[in-house]
Amino acid sequence: MAGACTTSGSAYKMHCRVGDSLIIGAGLFLDNQVGAAATALGEAVIKSSGSAMVVEAMRNGASPQDAFQNIILRILKMNEQVENLQVGFIALDIRGNVGAFSIKKGFNYALSNQKRGHLLLTANYLE
């Protein structure tokens, strides 16, 4: 497996800020069996080691949805202000199982194979 992760770029970057995309285990984490990536508020992802926690939970037998829900609950507990808080995760395993989850509505992802592509909305924790 291989993974890549990017940030929203300099347009939204605070001076001297290092985002979660560059920190292994936060914005992206994978091994030869499972991989996960995160998007949205990087500080929340960094503080929770979000992608690493999702991968570790899946290594221990959790489904992607269960792994996502656990880390989303951890992020919500760590942040007092949740009205503007959005974090989304996506994960894939070597067998092709995919999952995605976000705190709020509005996070979508593309899934494709050799025949066609799909744009999908994630399940979310808060309505």
Model confidence pLDDT, tens digit, residues 48-57: 999 999 999 9
Q: Give the Å distances, CA to CA, from 28 to 37, 54, 103.
A: 4, 10, 18
Pick the CATH number of 20-124 from 3.40.50.1820, 3.40.50.300, 3.40.50.150, 3.60.20.30: 3.60.20.30
What pLDDT score does 121 carry?
85
Tokens of 10: 């300099």
- The DSSP symbol for 107 reads -
27-47 average pLDDT score: 90
pTM value is 0.84
Q: What is the pLDDT of residue 18?
A: 67
Which of 13-17, 38-42, 64-68 is predicted with the least confidence, judged by mean pLDDT?
13-17
Q: Which residues of 25-60 are buried (b: 16+ CB within 10 A; e: fewer)?
A: bbbbbbeeebbbbbbbbbebbbebbbbbbbbbbbee
For residue 11, the model assigns a pLDDT of: 55
DSSP 113: -
Closest CA to 6 of 17, 46, 16, 19: 19
Break the chain into its structural domains and give their ranges.
Answer: 20-124
The pLDDT of residue 30 is 93
Is it the case that residue 43 has pLDDT exceeding 80?
yes
